[in-house]
Amino acid sequence: MIKIPGVDVEKGIALTGGTEEKYRQVLSMFCKDAGARLQMLRYYIFESMSSGNNKLPEKHISLFKTQVLAIKSASATIGAVEISAEAAALETAAFAGELAFIHDNLPNFVDHLQELVNHIHAAAGFKQDQSGEINLSDYNLILQELTEAIKNKNIADIDRITEELNNKPMDSKTRETLDLISDQVLMTEFDSAVKTIEGMLH
CATH assignment at residue 92: 1.20.120
The pLDDT of residue 73 is 95
Residue 115's pLDDT band, with cuts at 50, 70 and 90, is very high
Same domain, 162 and 101: no
Residue 4 lies in a domain: no
Tell me the percentage of the chain whose pLDDT exceeds 70.
85
Residue 89 lies in a domain: yes
Domain end, chosen from 74, 103, 124, is at 124
* Residues listed for the chain: 202
The pLDDT of residue 133 is 43
CA atoms within 13 A on the CB side of 160: 9
pLDDT digits (tens, 9 = 90+) for 122-167: 998 876 544 444 455 557 778 888 899 899 988 888 888 887 777 6
Least Cα distance to 41 among 130, 116, 101, 102 occurs for: 102
Same domain, 38 and 113: yes
pLDDT digits (tens, 9 = 90+) for 173-196: 777 788 888 888 877 888 888 988
What is the SS3 string spanning the chain? CCCCCCCCHHHHHHHCCCCHHHHHHHHHHHHHHHHHHHHHHHHHHHHHHHCCCCCCCHHHHHHHHHHHHHHHHHHHHHCCHHHHHHHHHHHHHHHHCCHHHHHHHHHHHHHHHHHHHHHHHHHHCCCCCCCCCCCHHHHHHHHHHHHHHHHCCCHHHHHHHHHHHHCCCCCHHHHHHHHHHHHHHHCCCHHHHHHHHHHHHC
Same domain, 114 and 45: yes
pTM of the model: 0.63
Domain that holds residue 161: 136-201
pLDDT digits (tens, 9 = 90+) for 77-97: 999 999 999 999 999 999 998
Same domain, 140 and 120: no
Residue 162 lies in a domain: yes
Residue 115 lies in a domain: yes
pLDDT digits (tens, 9 = 90+) for 2-39: 999 999 999 999 999 899 999 999 999 899 888 888 88
Interatomic CA distance for residues 143 and 156, integer angstroms: 15
Tell me the percentage of the chain whose pLDDT exceeds 90.
39
Same domain, 120 and 38: yes
The pLDDT of residue 74 is 94
Residue 57 has pLDDT above 70, yes or no: no
Domain end, chosen from 124, 152, 170, is at 124
